[in-house]
Copies of this chain bind each other. A is one copy, B any other.
Amino acid sequence: MQFLDTINFSVPLLANATETVDSSMVIKSVLLSLVVIYFVSKLGGELSNKVGLPPVLGELLGGVVIGISILHLLVFPEGSTDSSSSLIMNFLQTTAGLTPEATPQVFAAQSEVISVLAELGVIILLFEIGLESNLKELMAVGIQASVVAVVGVVVPFGAGTIGLMTLFGISAVPAIFAGAALTATSIGITSKVLSEIGKLNSKEGQIILGAAVIDDILGIIVLAVVASLAKDGEVDINKVIYLIVSATGFLLGAIVLGNIFNQTFVAIADKLKTRGGLVIPAFIFAFIMAYLAAVIQLEAILGAFAAGLVLEETDKRKELQRQVIPIADMLVPIFFVTVGAKTDLGVLNPTIPSNREGLIMATFLIAVAIIGKVVTGLTVFGQPGINRLAIGIGMIPRGEVGLVFAGVGAASGALSKPLGAAIVMMVILTTFLAPPLLRFVFPDETTTATLEAASGTSLVIESDVITLTDSQENELKS
Q: A-side interface residues toward B, CB under 8 Å?
A: 1-15, 17, 20-21, 23-24, 26-28, 30-32, 34-35, 38-39, 41-42, 45-46, 49, 55, 68, 77-81, 95-96, 109, 112-113, 115-116, 118-120, 122-123, 188, 196, 220, 223, 271-277, 279-281, 283-284, 287-288, 290-291, 294-295, 297-301, 323-330, 333, 338-339, 342-344, 346-347, 400-401, 403-404, 406-411, 415, 417, 420-421, 424, 427-428, 454-455, 457-458, 461-462, 464-465, 468-469, 471-472, 475-476, 478
Q: Which B residue's beta carbon lies closest to that of A465? A: B465
State the CA gap A409–B344 with chains docked (Å): 47
Asked if residues B78 and A8 are in contact (CB atoms below 8 Å), the reply is yes
Q: Which residues of B contact A454 (CB under 8 A)?
A: 475-476, 478
A-B contact pairs, 29 of them (CB 8 A): A3-B400, A4-B400, A9-B343, A9-B428, A10-B78, A10-B347, A11-B344, A11-B417, A11-B420, A12-B410, A14-B407, A20-B78, A27-B294, A28-B295, A31-B288, A31-B291, A31-B294, A46-B271, A46-B274, A55-B275, A95-B295, A96-B294, A275-B328, A323-B329, A327-B327, A327-B330, A454-B476, A454-B478, A464-B468
Q: Which B residue's beta carbon lies closest to that of A459? A: B472
Interface centre among A9, A32, A403 (most CB of B within 10 A): A9
Asked if residues A4 and B79 are in contact (CB atoms below 8 Å), the reply is no
Query: Which residue from B6, B14, B31 sits with its C-beta under 8 Å from A287?
Result: B31
Q: Which residues of B contact A42 (CB under 8 A)?
A: 272, 274, 276-277, 280-281, 284
Q: Which residues of B contact A338 (CB under 8 A)?
A: 4, 7
Asked if residues A31 and B80 are in contact (CB atoms below 8 Å), the reply is no
Asked if residues A10 and B68 are in contact (CB atoms below 8 Å), the reply is yes
Given contacts A2-B294, A280-B38, A458-B475, contact A403 B27 (CB under 8 A): no
Asked if residues A344 and B9 are in contact (CB atoms below 8 Å), the reply is yes
Query: Which residue from B15, B328, B411 sits with its C-beta under 8 Å from A14?
Result: B411
Interface of A, helix, strand, loop or mixed by DSSP: helix
Q: Which B residue's beta carbon lies closest to that of A421? A: B11
Q: Which residues of B contact A464 (CB under 8 A)?
A: 468
Closest 9 CB pairs between A and B? A276-B329, A13-B410, A10-B344, A323-B326, A6-B407, A9-B343, A10-B79, A55-B274, A15-B78
Q: Which B residue's beta carbon lies closest to that of A450? A: B478
Asked if residues A291 and B17 are in contact (CB atoms below 8 Å), the reply is no
Asked if residues A274 and B49 are in contact (CB atoms below 8 Å), the reply is yes
Copies in the complex: 2
Chain B nearest CB: distance from A99 CB in Å? 15
Q: Which B residue's beta carbon lies closest to that of A220? A: B1
State the CA gap A116–B96 with chains docked (Å): 18
Given contacts A112-B21, A116-B26, contact A8 B38 (CB under 8 A): no
Asked if residues A80 and B461 are in contact (CB atoms below 8 Å), the reply is no
Q: Which B residue's beta carbon lies closest to that of A188? A: B3
Query: Which residue from B1, B116, B329, B404 sits with its C-beta under 8 Å from A6?
Result: B404
Chain B nearest CB: distance from A394 CB in Å? 19
Asked if residues B13 and A279 are in contact (CB atoms below 8 Å), the reply is no
State the CA gap A49–B10 with chains docked (Å): 28
State the CA gap A118–B26 with chains docked (Å): 13
Q: Which residues of B contact A424 (CB under 8 A)?
A: 9, 11, 13
State the CA gap A39–B285 with chains docked (Å): 10
Query: Which residue from B274, B410, B420, B462 sits with its C-beta under 8 Å from A45?
Result: B274
Asked if residues A291 and B35 are in contact (CB atoms below 8 Å), the reply is yes
State the CA gap A476–B188 with chains docked (Å): 29
Asked if residues A31 and B77 are in contact (CB atoms below 8 Å), the reply is no
Chain B nearest CB: distance from A420 CB in Å? 5
State the CA gap A275–B331 with chains docked (Å): 12
Query: Which residue from B281, B300, B329, B339 sits with its C-beta under 8 Å from A275?
Result: B329
Query: Which residue from B223, B409, B471 sits with its C-beta under 8 Å from A1?
Result: B223
Q: Which residues of B contact A81 (CB under 8 A)?
A: 10
Q: Which residues of B contact A45 (CB under 8 A)?
A: 274-275
Chain B nearest CB: distance from A15 CB in Å? 4
Q: Which residues of B contact A116 (CB under 8 A)?
A: 23, 26-27, 30, 113
Interface centre among A119, A295, A344 (most CB of B within 10 A): A119
Q: Which residues of B contact A23 (CB under 8 A)?
A: 112, 115-116, 119
Interface centre among A301, A343, A465 (most CB of B within 10 A): A465
State the CA gap A458–B458 with chains docked (Å): 22
Asked if residues B24 and A294 are in contact (CB atoms below 8 Å), the reply is yes
